Structure 1
Amino acid sequence: MEDQTRHEQASPEVQKRVQSSFNLQGLMSHLGAQMTHIGPGRVHIVLPSRPEVTQQHGYVHAGATSAIADSAGGYAALTLFDEDSDVLTVEYKINLLAPASGEHLEAIGTVVKPGRTLTVCQLEVYGVQRSGERKLVANGQQTIIRIDRPGR
């Protein structure tokens, strides 16, 4: 049976709040990453493969791979909190399973266990070829902490 959360959209208010926060991230902008899906407890971020994000062998650098995974998980958690909340990463662990290659990478953050203070997320990063073929290149787990939005 297909996971329906893959396609479910967050409310327009949550989508706007999450996208607005993402747009403030200098690193994501610098990398050229874009948020492509915002659902309840699930966020997708795409990073186009280009020379500026590669390492010496031409694969997408582990730092760029990890950064989009971290952001996807954090924003997945944020979708479940109210407008007065924000999130920070407490810790994450990522396993690099294969060289990160493809036309682009797609990071998927999914909330596994939501909480009032701490939330645990699953992180997956796929290398996506022009043909649409997908290969899991990294996976991990992350703990997010809910904080009061700064300025509140």
Structure 2
Amino acid sequence: MEDEKQYEQADADVRKRILESFERQGLMRHLDARITHIAPGRVRIVLPHRPEVTQQNGYFHAGATSAVADSAGGYAAFTLFPEDTDVLTVEYKINLLAPAVGDRIEAVGTVVKSGRTLTVCQLEVFGVQDDRHTLVAAGQQTLIRVNRTER
């Protein structure tokens, strides 16, 4: 796993915008997921192990794994978007490489290419037990920048 110290923290305004948006996500709140790192083009989300996010064998459910990966990539892209815009996922593909086990999983979204309209991100999910990180899922995602709408 890459050392995140090489990724500078996003500035305070970007961090505030990302965290405010994340707090409005009902699914992330329901899963008890938390953003733990915000850098320009890179976001990490942690999901603690709880029975509610597992499948029948006790592994993290693929749906929970995919959901935090999708959000990590989306917010990584969002760090590079202008203030008056928003982000939507166009598509993503995830490969489940190993059973997701551990005290938590950590999803990392990293921007590969940020465009005027579309942005492509790399997605990685790690199972974490103590300080040992095991890659359990990898994927790619395309996102679209849209004008912010009031709801």
TM range (shorter): over 0.9
User: TM-score of the superposition, structure 1-length normalised?
Assistant: 0.95
Residues in 1 aligned to 2:9 and 2:39: alpha-carbon distance in whole angstroms: 4
Question: Are 2:127 and 1:143 equivalent residues in the alignment?
Answer: no
AA aligned to 2:128 is: V
Runs of 4+ residues over 4 Å off in structure 1: 2-6
Instruction: Please state whether the residue corresponding to 2:80 is helix, strand or coil.
Output: coil
The equivalent residue for 2:57 is: 57
- The CA RMSD measured in Å over matched residues stands at 1.5
The whole-number CA distance in structure 2 between the counterparts of 1:5 and 1:86 is 27
Per-residue deviation at 1:7?
A: 3.5
Indicate the percent of aligned positions where both proteins have the same amino acid: 71
Per-residue deviation, 1:4: 6.3
Partner deviation per Cα, 1:19-69 (whole Å, 9 max, x = no partner): 000000000000010000010000000000110100000000000000000
SS of residue matched to 1:69: helix
Q: 2-11 or 13-22, which moves further after superposition?
A: 2-11
State the AA in 1 paired with 2:143.
Answer: I
Task: Return the TM-score normalized by structure 2.
Answer: 0.96
Match status 1:34 vs 2:34: yes
Unaligned runs of 5+ in 2: none
SS of structure 2 residue aligned to 1:102: coil
Aligned length: 150
Give 3-state SS (helix, strand or coil) of 1:59's partner.
coil
